[in-house]
């Protein structure tokens, strides 16, 4: 999977468009609202993860390799 934050942005705007559909029944609106809540919950986690990665990159930029042992490993583990 090669999703980017820009893809998340596209998904959020697509969901906003679905919520704006004036032709939906009350039942369809309720279903889209539940879907929106799930999407927002996942999006919040993705954005939080990206923010954490940015903070780690800033620490590395400010302090160099000396900070690496204190940062969590990301990516595939070496077993």
Task: Write out the DSSP string of 25-72.
Answer: -HHHHHHHHHHHHHHHHHHHHHHHHHHHHHHHHHHHHHHGGGGGGGSP
Q: Rg of the chain's alpha carbons, rounded to an integer?
A: 19
User: Is residue 10, in this structure, part of any structural domain at all?
Assistant: no
Structural domain containing residue 66? 26-70
Total count of domains within the chain: 1
Both tokens of 8, joined, read 């998340």
The reported pLDDT for the residue numbered 28 is 95
pLDDT greater than 90 at residue 23: yes
- pLDDT, one tens digit per residue, over 25-40 is 999 999 999 999 999 9
Q: Is the pLDDT of residue 3 over 60?
A: yes
Residue 60 — pLDDT band, cuts 50, 70, 90?
confident
Number of Cα atoms under 13 Å in the Cβ half of residue 40: 8
52: in domain:
yes
């Amino acid at each position: 999977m090669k999703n980017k934050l820009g893809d998340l942005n596209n998904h959020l705007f697509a969901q906003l468009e679905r919520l704006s559909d004036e032709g939906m029944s009350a039942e369809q609106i309720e279903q889209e609202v539940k879907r929106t809540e799930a999407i927002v919950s996942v999006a919040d986690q993705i954005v939080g993860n990206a923010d954490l990665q940015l903070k780690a990159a800033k620490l590395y930029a400010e302090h160099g390799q000396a900070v690496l042992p204190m940062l969590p490993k990301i990516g595939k583990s070496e077993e």
